[in-house]
Amino acid sequence: AEVGNRLREALEGPGPSSVAIIGGANLVNEDAYAWVKLAKSVICTDSVDASLGDGIDAELLATLDRATVDEACSAQCLLLLCGDLREELPVLYLRVREAALSGSTKLVEVSEKPSSLSRYAQVALTYLPGEAPAGVGRVVEAVSAMIGAGGEGLVVAAGKASMAQGDAELNAAIAAISARWPAAKFLPVARRANVMGALEVGAAPGMLPGRIGLEEARDHYESAWGALPGSKGLDTLGILESASRGEITVL
């Protein structure tokens, strides 16, 4: 009852933009979907996020051709643009190492420092923090010799090299690779259990279930749900900053 009263006060006062939901990536898809629908069609706030600046931008991710783990480990060339897989995703590390040792997949690594897979890479390049896009530019010649002109046969395992790496650096690098090799596929390297599931059901500002943007699917979802937020909301960092200023009254 108290939660309902607080929500009513916020909606009747400052309006839906004063309400925000920070979710978690450990929810199953069905639970995350329920929270998204509550936020975006009942409360009509788009300030919903399930991450904390720790991955690929949701709108950019929606434009990428996603790869499976099997596709990554059977690709002609696997470009590693992420942290040390042995430390973060050990099962994926074992699969990638096996593919490299068998000779079925050629590895190209671009990282802040040598990793446990560097010894298996045909090309291993390092860059200083803040220089990820420049580092990607240096692999073009090496990767081009291993794949088709449009990126056929290339899978990019992409994720933050460390929590200190800025989102803008990673997203700029991914956008540059996608523009250079339109046929490349991407395997998001996420540290938490169901980040991709949360994004699939729209638990990110500007997104709706089905990896589609708020404006792209507005007519469809307004017909199905009855209402949608009027504009794109805030991500987790923006929500917390707004809450500290008193602009978010229900969190």
Please report, for the domain that includes residue 218, its CATH number. Answer: 3.40.50.740
Give the number of domains in the chain.
2
Distance of CA 4 to the CA centre of its chain: 32
CA distance 126 to 161: 11
Among 230, 184, 232, CA closest to 207 = 232
Q: How do residues 87-131 score in pLDDT, each as one tens digit?
A: 989 999 999 999 999 988 999 998 888 999 999 999 888 877 766
Same domain? For 97 and 170 the reply is: yes
Render pLDDT for 174-196 as a digit per residue (tens, 0 to 9): 898 898 889 999 999 887 778 88
Note whether 92 and 151 are same-domain residues: yes
Element (H, E) at 106: strand 106-111
Same domain assignment for residues 42 and 96: no
Among 188, 206, 234, the domain boundary falls at 188
Residues 6+ apart with CB under 8 A from 235: 49, 51, 53, 204, 205
Does 26 share its domain with 129? Answer: no
Residue type, 172: A
CATH number of the domain at 81, please: 3.40.50.720
Specify if 250 maps to a domain. Answer: no
Tell me: do 13 and 95 sit in the same domain. no
Model pTM score: 0.85
Q: Is 165 a member of any domain?
A: yes
251 part of a folded domain: no
Task: Give the structural domain span for 167.
Answer: 60-188
Question: 154 lies in a domain?
Answer: yes
User: Does a structural domain hold residue 78?
Assistant: yes
Q: Is residue 12 part of a domain?
A: yes
Do 132 and 120 touch, CB atoms closer than 8 A? no
Do 210 and 158 share a structural domain?
no
pLDDT at 35: 93
